[in-house]
Amino acid sequence: MNTKKYAAEMIGTFWLTFAGCGSAVIAAGFPQVGIGLVGVSLAFGLSVVTMAYAIGHISGCHLNPAVTVGLAAGGRFPAGEILPYVIAQVIGAIAAAALLYVIASGAPGFDVAKGFASNGYDAHSPGKYSVMVCFITEMVMTMMFLFVIMGATHGKAPAGFAPLAIGLALVMIHLVSIPVTNTSVNPARSTGPAVFVGGWALAQLWLFWVAPLIGGVLGGVIYRWLSQEPAGVVAGK
């Protein structure tokens, strides 16, 4: 068992959740100098870029259960390692949400019930989008995210640029889907804040596991078919 890989995934997912959700909770609406939707989108994308360069050579830098499952479906990751990766990612996300809660609660008027960067549908969607629309959005966005990841990390892709392509893809995804679901495409990222919000956030969490996982599998399988890669190729090997 290579515990260093799992530790890297935990730290990486901590960084993604803390940086991304932290930008939304602390900085997005800050009076007069708030970073807004574009700033939050950039924060999520940059968290992936920075960690991809930092830990990509250790764990592959998945930071996301849907990415881990999607890479396995695409023949790039051993199925036997899915569970420990996912556990590490969820632990990292919850730890990040805990730290963010401690920091954010230091501000006057802080109210975790306002959302705490949680993902939601219907009344809890930023734009009040329906559950079906939110499901489709999360599934398709995750599918395309995996498609980009598979392509950017392909052996014939330009070397060294994968983190940039993947990070920019995540920025684009957030620019489109923050108004719809507050953007998940990552079950671990959704779980962290939901644990602290409780109630509706936990009740709606199912969608932000099911839709991204389906999308991840679709993206992995479609790219594997398109690129005609041989089965059994493991990323980083």
Which residue range is the domain that position 9 belongs to? 3-227
Domain membership of residue 199 (yes or no) is yes
Domain membership of residue 172 (yes or no) is yes
Under the banding of pLDDT at 50, 70 and 90, the label for residue 237 is very low
Domain membership of residue 235 (yes or no) is no
Q: Distance between CA atoms of 146 and 142, rounded to whole angstroms?
A: 6
Under the banding of pLDDT at 50, 70 and 90, the label for residue 29 is confident
96-136 pLDDT, tens digit per residue, is 999 999 999 998 888 898 889 999 999 999 999 999 999 99
Domain membership of residue 237 (yes or no) is no
82 CB burial (10 A radius; 0-12, 13-18, 19+): middle
Domain membership of residue 102 (yes or no) is yes
Residue 130's domain is classified under what CATH number?
1.20.1080.10
**CA 116 remoteness from chain centre:** 16
Rounded to 5 degrees, φ, ψ at 52 are -60, -40
Domain membership of residue 193 (yes or no) is yes
Domain membership of residue 233 (yes or no) is no
User: What are the DSSP calls for 145-195, one per residue?
Assistant: HHHHHHHHTSTTSPTT-HHHHHHHHHHHHHHHHHHHHS--S-HHHHHHHHH
Our count of domains for the chain comes to: 1
- Decide if 13 contacts 66 (C-beta within 8 A): no
- pTM of the predicted model over 0.85: yes
